[in-house]
Amino acid sequence: MAIDYYERIPNNVGLADNRALQRALEQWQPRFLDWWREMGPSSFGGADVYLRTATTADENGWASYGHVAMPEYRWGIFLADPVPDRRIGFGDAIDEPVWQQVPGEHRSSLRRLIVTQGDTEPASVEQQRRLGLTCPSLYDLRNLFQVNVEEGRHLWAMVYLLHAYFGRDGREEAEELLTRHSGDQDRPRILGTFNEPIEDWLSFFMFTYFTDRDGRFQLKSLAESAFDPLSRSCRFMLAEEAFHMFTGASGITRIIKRTLKVMSEIATDDPAAVRNAGAIDLQTLQRYINFWFSSSVDLFGAEISSNAASYFATGLKGRPDEARFSDHLGAGRLPIELPDGKGGVIPEEVPTRSAMNEVSRLAYVKDCDIGVQRWNRLIRDAGQDFRLVLPSLRFHRSVGAWTGIHTTPDGKPIIAEEWSARRYDWLPSEEDRAFVASLMQRVTEPGKFAGWIAPPDGGINNLGLAYEYVHLN
Ligand SMILES: [Fe+2]
Ligand SMILES: [Fe+2]
């Protein structure tokens, strides 16, 4: 379906045919823009940024590129094309036709799922709002802003669903999405990770690698939903999300490349010497991985969850890539390891439906590990002994059975004294953050890159590295 760009709100949902909905969204639009100016990328309102914008919602050639000032970005409502005769793919209502309207009995659960997803989108823009001031290059600055405007568009995607299908409650929730703020004492964002500060680019790349990837897995699960408008929304969001994954994976790769080059130049693996030479030592990278991975795995929820079981049973939320499972009823049981409360571990078996969060989390961990292994090949090929590793799912958890239980990164329960003595061997310390912050010097000359990160292999949309991706006015 073609996107109507003549409308005030670009869309492919026939908004012009629904005047009441159009009016409601046109009232929300200026509030969104106020939020963007206040809480979005700080001090870059006048910059022209080489951004891609959606033009059609099919898989091939959906994007057009051009320089645009961010407040003029054409945020809109894009649903993936409908799948003819789509049927529910899992749970108790398997093979029944999907829903075009919200069934009354699922209204509040669906609203909660949409609000929780919607809340993460503006949250990440708020978390990243000051990064532009310390960009390592114009190329990276452009990528940050591309991610930001697309997270803004993801907010539009969820707000459309709230306005179109949830009446007055939905409109109120849409307002709230602009009044909660990341890290706000009184009105924080709903999920923990989205209240963590992102003050340096190492954290930004970790966030886009680990936390945006959680987003990708949540979208995959919601793309399975029996509520077809949600499914179509999420399918199009997934097309945009691929670039966010790329930003994180390539960003961390480039940092590691630069570090390895410095290690070979100074012929030592001593982290202090690496830091002195202006690169980020691999040990610090590992601590940032430990932090962002453990925070992001919390986003999947508790290991045993009656909510997750009921979302699956009723068809509201499936597993990521549900088609890849052989059993779509979630029958059977799953082995799971839980703390025994005495510093040990008990193996348990729980009904698969109750363990859906864990099933999704394990698929996510596998996906996270692909990049880690790629980084380890780079490190090995450079002749270094060091290996990066994802910590255990028991490590540093704030949600689920392992909350508040101290373990080593490989998951061995330890006493509180050992945790206090060693936690900064495993997690970023104030001193680590101060060191990383000291490297964050702004580089804006086209084609130039900060010294702590290697240039990328190529530019955006086949343009070179020296292209002026952002015109700073
Ligand atoms: Fe998003
Ligand atoms: Fe994202």
Ligand (nearest to CA of 233): 1
Residue 243 belongs to a domain: yes
Smallest Cα–Cα separation from 158: which of 62, 80, 234, 227?
234
Ligand (nearest to CA of 119): 1
Distance 212 CA to ligand 2 centre (A): 5
Distance 246 CA to ligand 1 centre (A): 14
Ligand (nearest to CA of 151): 1
Instruction: Quote the number of domains for the chain.
Output: 1
Residue 1 belongs to a domain: no
Residue 1 is predicted with a pLDDT of 56
Smallest Cα–Cα separation from 81: which of 239, 207, 316, 206?
239
Residue 342 is predicted with a pLDDT of 87
Distance 15 CA to ligand 2 centre (A): 25
Distance 208 CA to ligand 2 centre (A): 7
Distance 270 CA to ligand 1 centre (A): 38
Residue 7 belongs to a domain: no
Length of the chain: 473
Distance 134 CA to ligand 1 centre (A): 23
Residue 3 belongs to a domain: no
Residue 10 belongs to a domain: no
Range of the domain at 391: 15-471
Distance 122 CA to ligand 1 centre (A): 8
From residue 341, give the alpha-carbon distance in Å to each of 93, 302, 400: 39, 17, 14
Ligand (nearest to CA of 222): 1
Distance 250 CA to ligand 2 centre (A): 15
Distance 282 CA to ligand 1 centre (A): 29
Distance 215 CA to ligand 1 centre (A): 6
Geometric angle at alpha carbon 463, from 462 and 464, rounded to 5°: 120
Distance 38 CA to ligand 2 centre (A): 20
Q: Do β-strands 48-54 and 470-471 pair in parallel, antiparallel, or remain unpaired?
A: antiparallel
Task: List CB contacts of 54: < 8 A, sequence separation 6 or more.
Answer: 3, 10, 62, 63, 76, 78, 153, 236, 240
Distance 152 CA to ligand 2 centre (A): 10
Ligand (nearest to CA of 121): 1
CA dist., res. 78 & res. 312, Å (int): 26
Distance 17 CA to ligand 1 centre (A): 28
Distance 249 CA to ligand 2 centre (A): 13
Residue 339 is predicted with a pLDDT of 94
Task: List CB contacts of 251: < 8 A, sequence separation 6 or more.
Answer: 140, 201, 204, 205, 208, 209, 453
Q: What is the longest distance spanned by two Cα atoms in the chain?
A: 68
Residue 153 is predicted with a pLDDT of 97
Per-residue pLDDT of the chain (473 residues), as tens digits, is 566 666 889 999 999 999 999 999 999 999 999 999 999 998 898 999 999 988 766 666 678 899 999 999 999 999 999 999 999 999 999 999 999 999 999 999 999 999 999 999 999 999 999 999 999 999 999 999 999 999 999 999 999 999 999 999 999 999 999 999 999 999 999 999 999 999 999 999 999 999 999 999 999 999 999 999 999 999 999 999 999 999 999 999 999 999 999 999 999 999 999 999 999 999 999 999 999 999 999 999 999 999 999 999 999 999 999 999 999 999 999 999 999 988 889 999 999 999 999 999 999 999 999 999 999 999 999 999 999 999 999 999 999 999 999 999 999 999 999 999 999 999 999 999 999 999 999 999 999 999 999 999 999 999 999 999 999 97
Distance 202 CA to ligand 2 centre (A): 16
Residue 299 is predicted with a pLDDT of 98
Ligand (nearest to CA of 207): 2
Distance 139 CA to ligand 1 centre (A): 21
CA dist., res. 122 & res. 151, Å (int): 6
Cross-strand partners of 78: none
Distance 241 CA to ligand 2 centre (A): 5
Q: CA neighbours within 13 Å on the CB side: how many for 304?
A: 13
Ligand (nearest to CA of 153): 1
Neighbours of ion ligand 1 (CB under 5 A): 121, 151, 154
Distance 244 CA to ligand 1 centre (A): 8
CA dist., res. 221 & res. 159, Å (int): 19
Residue 60 is predicted with a pLDDT of 63
Distance 147 CA to ligand 2 centre (A): 7
Ligand (nearest to CA of 123): 1
Ligand (nearest to CA of 208): 2
Residue 171 belongs to a domain: yes
CA dist., res. 148 & res. 116, Å (int): 18
Residue 99 belongs to a domain: yes
Cross-strand partners of 69: 48
Distance 178 CA to ligand 2 centre (A): 18
Ligand (nearest to CA of 237): 1
Dihedral sign from CA coordinates of 424, 429, 435, 436: positive
Ligand (nearest to CA of 122): 1
What are the backbone dihedrals phi and psi of residue 410, each rounded to the nearest 5 degrees, phi first?
-90, 10
Residue 411 is predicted with a pLDDT of 96
Distance 139 CA to ligand 2 centre (A): 18
Give the chain as a 3 state SS string.
CECECCCCCCECCCHHHCHHHHHHHHHHHHHHHHHHHHHCCCCCCCCEEEEEEECECCCCCCEEEEEEEHHHCCCCECCCCCCCCCECCCCCCCCCECECCCCHHHHHHHHHHHHHHHHHHHHHHHHCCCHHHHCCCHHHHHHHHHHHHHHHHHHHHHHHHHHHHCHHHHHHHHHHHHHCCCCCCCCCCCCHHHHCCCCCHHHHHHHHHHHHHHHHHHHHHHHCCCEHHHHHHHHHHHHHHHHHHHHHHHHHHHHHHHHHHHHHHHCCCCHHHHHHCCCCCHHHHHHHHHHHHHHHHHCCCCCCCHHHHHHHHHCCCCCCCHHHCCCCCCCCEEEEEEECCCCCEEEEEEEHHHHHHHHHHHHHHHHHHHHHHHHHHHHHHCCCCCCCCCCCCCCCCCCCCCCCCCECCCCCECCHHHHHHHHHHHCCCHHHHHHHHHHCCCCCCCCCCCCCCCCCCCCCCCCCCCCCCEECC
- Residue 432: give its domain's CATH number: 1.10.620.20
Residue 9 belongs to a domain: no
Distance 243 CA to ligand 2 centre (A): 8
Smallest Cα–Cα separation from 412: which of 344, 324, 338, 336?
344
Smallest Cα–Cα separation from 126: which of 219, 195, 218, 217?
195
